[in-house]
């Protein structure tokens, strides 16, 4: 790499060196092998900025971040895709590098990033590059969650200033994507943020926290100092996100949990319940939650008046970490952002343990013990509801079938009965109010909400008969099976609608059947069941077309089906359309929609088989071993003892295509890597070996990357061939 340019500011030089040290060799640069070195370095630094942003925001390793970089042709404004450990949060990162620290982000870049989000939401992946294709399943797994959080991130080697017009574009995208529990936020990481992160990497700064307690606390001094008491929840929020005045009120984010066995899980269903609890009944929060545990190396205690246990006090906790209660702290911060005054009224029980003088390993044992205790879920409480035991009896007496409702019990075989979860889901879809289906699509936890508007109360408040429940389950299963059969014929946006709208389809079918039909004699009920697939075939094409009719083809699919008001409009429109008999025959509509989605995306064949069958790599082509940083550290010295150990050549053979230069024998890519690990006596080697990702054709990429490009070309040729037939 070239030397730092003289005009480059000192801070930029620091960041540049740190990024190259951390990511050079980790981030794929195969598409720049034959380009000018300066151009290649600029591209690498831009990708490294996006990867560093992922490390900062997602608290991931450098290897993980490097694997998430998708920058290149057909990235649609997304340079890196990062995932939270919980799988409920997603970061779409666009990065800009300038040697002089003057990178900016304009409206065109913002529109491109938002366009990339829309394509992901629509399952429109055909034109994304192969790097994104490898992450597609994880991306969709997050976007399918109704409580997911998507972050549009701008990472700049500059001051981070955005024009009002650019900010408006990002805010509008956030508002459009949001729904029940779903959020989009945008975040700017500027040069100062990157420099701070790099400094912390070199020498992480210990965290100092301030905890103020009223009269409700006590302490013990032996064998180690511990203080237990109540603090206001807004203090937890400031620990996490700052917004205070003093040095101890600076926000520490996920660093608060450095000694914890897990980080915050994002906006999960349980955490959302905590947020609502703090806001709706702050005074009762203390009685409903277990509290948190904080470890520290040293405690300073200040009194506001009389120096005695139980008198108001402030504790300064040096080198502190929240070892249990990460979800409570993060939820307090989310609630604080919405209503700081309400959160100030909520109290949390805090246990502070000082490790000064403690034996080695004592702190770790506390962190492990406090995070492995069993916890209660909302569903557990229905086990004491007599309605459920009565339904179970009714199932046995009326239907001779099983009904299980306690968590941990095995679900019965489909023909023998059902679980309370399946029953409640079916009843929610059967209910006249489509909002219940919307909530359940998001999380089955919504099924157990009690109270006047709670799903559990509305479904089981008046005990339903076993026959009604069982017949609802039968219809629900038939709808699910028919959607599964039809789903293989769809792609892109229609496929996204089938995935996200499955419970709304079930709701529409239930409304078409009508409640009165569920009491008919068995022979007439059999006719109803026989007609369910036709009902699905009639409902689905109208729902697919109605989404675009009501909300335009640019609307977010997952957000639409997480929005109760939009779903109510869809239900009314589809049912009205069906009553009027407008539109062509449903089977014709389905065929047209399936044809419009193009060819079904086939599963890519095994890498080696694909490469051999299509002669993608010429016989004798040199291969180079491309170990990860961990492998290099473990077996690098062994590899360097004989340079031939890093080299091989390609043989067009499905079973053993890699001819190893070190011994002249042929192996499979995975088999050779395993052989090398064993020969190097790497005792801590991983159990999983991914050989095709570890052998590289110089200038072309790994075997996996070459196979992905080949498969994309094959798909493109198939589509163009279809277009030619259609035009003939």
For 214-264, strand residue ranges (E) read: 217-220, 226-232
Neighbours of 56 (CB within 10 A): 25
Domain-wise residue ranges, the chain: 10-202, 209-375, 379-596, 607-712
| Confidence (pTM) | 0.55
Q: By the 8 A CB rule, do 283 and 276 touch?
A: no
Which pLDDT belongs to residue 204? 63
How far is it, in rounded angstroms, from Cα 169 to Cα 554?
15
How far is it, in rounded angstroms, from Cα 545 to Cα 523?
35
Q: Name the H helices within 492-563.
A: 492-500, 502-513, 522-530, 532-551, 557-560
Beta bridge partners of 660: 648
Which pLDDT belongs to residue 2? 45
Q: By the 8 A CB rule, do 495 and 597 touch?
A: yes
Which pLDDT belongs to residue 203? 61
Contacts 24+ apart (CB under 8 A), 479-486: 479/505, 479/506, 479/509, 479/532, 479/535, 479/536, 480/506, 482/532, 482/533, 482/536, 482/537, 483/536, 483/540, 486/536, 486/537, 486/540, 486/590
Q: By the 8 A CB rule, do 343 and 283 touch?
A: no
Beta-strand relationship, 321-324 and 298-303: unpaired
Q: Average pLDDT of each block of 10 consecutive residues along the chain (728 residues)? A: 57 90 90 88 94 90 91 92 83 93 91 90 83 86 80 92 91 78 84 86 79 86 89 91 56 73 52 81 88 91 81 90 86 88 92 87 73 57 80 90 81 89 93 89 77 85 90 94 86 86 94 88 91 92 90 84 88 89 59 54 73 84 87 88 91 89 90 92 81 88 87 61 39
How far is it, in rounded angstroms, from Cα 700 to Cα 76?
22
Which pLDDT belongs to residue 356? 87
Which pLDDT belongs to residue 307? 80
How far is it, in rounded angstroms, from Cα 340 to Cα 322?
21
Helix (H) or strand (E) holding 150: strand 149-156
Which pLDDT belongs to residue 222? 84
Beta-strand relationship, 347-354 and 292-296: parallel
Q: Name the H helices within 410-491.
A: 420-430, 435-442, 455-460, 466-487
Structure tokens at 2: 């070239």
Neighbours of 273 (CB within 10 A): 16
């Amino acid at each position: 790499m070239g030397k730092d340019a003289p005009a480059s500011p000192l801070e930029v030089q620091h960041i540049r060196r740190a990024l190259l040290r951390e990511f050079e060799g980790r981030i794929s640069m195969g598409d720049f092998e034959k380009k000018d070195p300066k151009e290649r370095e600029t591209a690498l630094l831009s990708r490294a900025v996006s990867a560093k942003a992922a490390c900062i925001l997602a608290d991931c390793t450098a290897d993980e971040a490097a694997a998430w970089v998708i920058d290149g042709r057909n990235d649609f404004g997304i340079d890196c895709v990062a995932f939270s450990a919980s799988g409920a949060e997603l970061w779409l990162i666009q990065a800009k590098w300038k040697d002089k620290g003057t990178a900016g982000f304009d409206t065109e870049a913002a529109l491109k990033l938002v366009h990339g989000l829309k394509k992901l939401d629509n399952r429109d992946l055909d034109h994304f590059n192969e790097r994104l294709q490898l992450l597609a399943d994880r991306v969709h797994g997050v976007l399918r969650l109704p409580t997911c959080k998507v972050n549009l991130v701008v990472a700049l080697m500059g001051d981070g200033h955005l024009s009002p017009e650019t900010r408006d574009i990002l805010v509008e995208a956030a508002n459009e994507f949001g729904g029940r529990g779903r959020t989009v936020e945008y975040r700017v990481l500027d040069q100062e943020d990157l420099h701070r992160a790099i400094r912390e990497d070199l020498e992480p700064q210990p965290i100092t926290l301030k905890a103020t307690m009223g009269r409700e606390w006590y302490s013990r001094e032996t064998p180690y100092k511990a203080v237990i008491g109540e603090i206001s929840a807004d203090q937890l929020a400031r620990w996490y996100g700052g917004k205070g005045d003093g040095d101890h009120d600076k926000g520490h984010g996920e660093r608060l949990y450095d000694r914890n066995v897990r980080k915050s899980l994002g906006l999960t269903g349980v955490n959302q319940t905590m947020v609502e609890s703090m806001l709706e009944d702050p005074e009762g929060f203390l009685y409903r939650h277990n509290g948190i545990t904080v470890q520290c190396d040293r405690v300073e205690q200040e009194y506001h008046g009389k120096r005695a246990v139980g008198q108001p006090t402030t504790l300064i906790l040096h080198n502190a970490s929240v070892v249990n209660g990460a979800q409570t702290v993060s939820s307090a911060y989310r609630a604080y952002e919405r209503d700081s005054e309400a959160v100030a009224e909520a109290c949390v029980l805090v246990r502070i343990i000082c490790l000064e003088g403690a034996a080695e390993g004592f702190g770790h044992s506390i962190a492990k013990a406090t995070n492995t205790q069993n916890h209660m879920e909302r569903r557990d409480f229905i086990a004491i509801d007599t309605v459920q035991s009565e339904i179970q009896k009714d199932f046995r007496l009326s239907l001779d079938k099983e009904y299980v409702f306690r968590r941990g019990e095995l679900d019965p075989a489909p023909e023998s009965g059902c679980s309370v979860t399946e029953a409640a889901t079916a009843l929610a879809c059967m209910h006249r109010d489509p909002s219940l289906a919307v909530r359940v699509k998001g999380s089955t936890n919504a099924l157990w909400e009690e109270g006047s508007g709670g799903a559990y109360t509305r479904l089981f408040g008046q005990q339903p008969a076993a026959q009604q429940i069982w017949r609802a389950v039968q219809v629900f299963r038939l709808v699910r099976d028919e959607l599964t059969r039809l789903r293989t014929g769809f792609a892109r946006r229609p496929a996204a609608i089938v995935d996200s709208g499955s419970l709304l389809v079930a709701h529409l079918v239930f409304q078409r059947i009508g409640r009165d039909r569920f009491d008919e004699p068995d022979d007439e009920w059999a006719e109803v069941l026989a007609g369910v697939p036709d009902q699905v075939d009639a409902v689905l094409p109208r729902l697919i077309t109605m989404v675009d009719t009501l909300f335009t083809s640019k609307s977010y699919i997952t957000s639409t089906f997480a929005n109760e008001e939009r779903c109510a409009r869809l239900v009314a429109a589809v049912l009205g359309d069906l009553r009027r008999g407008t539109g062509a025959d449903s089977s014709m509509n389905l065929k047209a929609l399936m044809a419009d989605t193009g060819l079904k995306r086939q599963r890519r064949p095994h890498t080696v088989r694909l490469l051999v069958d299509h002669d993608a790599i010429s016989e004798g082509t040199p291969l180079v071993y491309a170990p990860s940083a961990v492998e290099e550290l473990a077996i690098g010295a062994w590899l360097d003892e004989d340079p031939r150990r890093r080299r091989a050549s390609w043989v067009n053979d499905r079973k053993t295509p890699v001819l190893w230069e070190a011994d002249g024998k042929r192996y499979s890519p995975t088999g050779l890597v395993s052989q090398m690990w064993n020969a190097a006596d790497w005792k801590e080697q991983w159990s999983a070996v991914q050989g095709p990702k570890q052998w590289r054709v110089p200038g072309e990429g790994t075997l996996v990357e070459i196979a992905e490009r080949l498969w994309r070309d094959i798909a493109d040729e198939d589509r163009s061939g279809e277009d030619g037939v259609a035009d003939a």
